[in-house]
């Protein structure tokens, strides 16, 4: 009799302690989250705006993704850059690892004005070099279809990262097509 009672108390204690610890932790996390949420959102916004300004400077950007009817699933977001053209965020297919997210500026006459890598999990030292200036500069002012030299194009692929380079080319092509479909 006594023993079963002890066991019962032990079980209740296990549950209670674990519950209390989890509850306190959850409470603390909620607190920290509410303190940092604004700063994190601001950081992300600042990063996107910086990337947009880099690829196609304009005074204001408006999100016009809703009116896109091109049906290209790799196109994530389209911003209309005031009087300059479009900035298109693309997650191209065929990246080497994880999701690659590229911001592409397209001028009103359909040329690529620059690219910026927003998110990458490509191999560091190889594919991750796609965010280096010497690679990105190749896309500035590019007209027509982007492809790497190996495929008969003009883009010098990154050393040891042809797959990543091709993915970036795909992103640029998708972006240009999307911008063209927006008129």
Partner 1 sequence: MDIKKQFKEGLITQNPVTVQLLGMCSVMAITTTLFNGIGMGLSVLVILTCANVVISLLRKIIPSKVRIACYIVVIAGFVTIVDLLLQAYLPDLSESLGLFIPLIVVNCIILGRAESFASKNGVAASAVDGVFQGLGYTVILVIMCVVREFLGNGTFGGGILNGGDGIRILPEGIPALGMVLPVGGFLTLACVIAAMQYFLNKPKKNADTKEEVSK
Candidate list 144, 150, 160, 180; residue touching partner 1; CB under 8 A: 160
3-state SS class at 91: coil
Q: How many residues does the chain have?
A: 183
Residue closer to partner 1 by CB (options 18, 180) is 18
**What are the φ/ψ torsions at residue 36 (nearest 5 degrees)?**
-100, -15
Segment near partner 1 (CB under 8 A); pick from 12-20, 82-90, 100-108, 169-177:
12-20
Which helix (H) or strand (E) is 11 found in, with range?
helix 2-55
Cα–Cα distance, 107 to 103 (Å, whole number): 13
Q: Nearest distance from residue 94's CB to partner 1, in Å? A: 21
Cα–Cα distance, 126 to 97 (Å, whole number): 12
Residue 123 lies near partner 1 (rule: CB under 8 A): yes
Candidate list 6, 8, 32, 141; residue touching partner 1; CB under 8 A: 32
Candidate list 6, 7, 8, 36; residue touching partner 1; CB under 8 A: 36
Segment near partner 1 (CB under 8 A); pick from 30-38, 68-76, 103-111, 165-173:
30-38
Sign of CA dihedral 152, 116, 164, 93: negative
Q: Nearest distance from residue 37's CB to partner 1, in Å? A: 8
Residue 18 lies near partner 1 (rule: CB under 8 A): yes
Token pair 């994880």 is found at 98
Contacts of 101 (CB under 8 A, 6+ apart): 76, 89, 90, 91, 117, 118, 119, 120
Residue 131 lies near partner 1 (rule: CB under 8 A): no
Candidate list 8, 22, 63, 93; residue touching partner 1; CB under 8 A: 22
Candidate list 2, 4, 59, 124; residue touching partner 1; CB under 8 A: 124
Residue 125 lies near partner 1 (rule: CB under 8 A): yes
3-state SS class at 132: coil
Cα 23 to chain centroid, rounded: 34
Residues that bind partner 1 (CB under 8 A): 10, 13-14, 17-18, 21-22, 25, 28-29, 32-33, 36, 39-40, 43, 47, 121, 123-126, 160
């Amino acid at each position: 009799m006594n023993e079963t009672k002890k066991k019962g108390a032990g079980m209740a204690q296990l549950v209670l302690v674990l519950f209390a610890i989890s509850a306190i932790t959850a409470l603390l996390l909620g607190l920290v989250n509410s303190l940092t949420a604004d700063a994190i959102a601001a950081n992300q916004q600042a990063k996107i705006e910086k990337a947009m300004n880099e690829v196609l400077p304009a005074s204001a950007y408006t999100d016009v993704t809703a009116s896109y009817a091109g049906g290209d699933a790799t196109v994530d977001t389209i911003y209309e850059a005031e009087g300059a053209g479009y900035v298109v965020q693309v997650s191209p297919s065929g990246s080497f690892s994880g999701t690659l997210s590229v911001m592409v500026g397209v001028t009103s006459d359909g040329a690529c004005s620059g690219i910026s890598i927003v998110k990458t999990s490509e191999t560091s030292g190889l594919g991750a070099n796609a965010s280096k200036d010497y690679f990105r500069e190749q896309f500035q002012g590019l007209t027509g279809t982007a492809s790497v030299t190996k495929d008969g194009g003009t883009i010098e692929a990154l050393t040891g990262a042809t797959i990543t380079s091709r993915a970036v080319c795909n992103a640029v092509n998708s972006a240009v097509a999307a911008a063209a479909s927006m008129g």
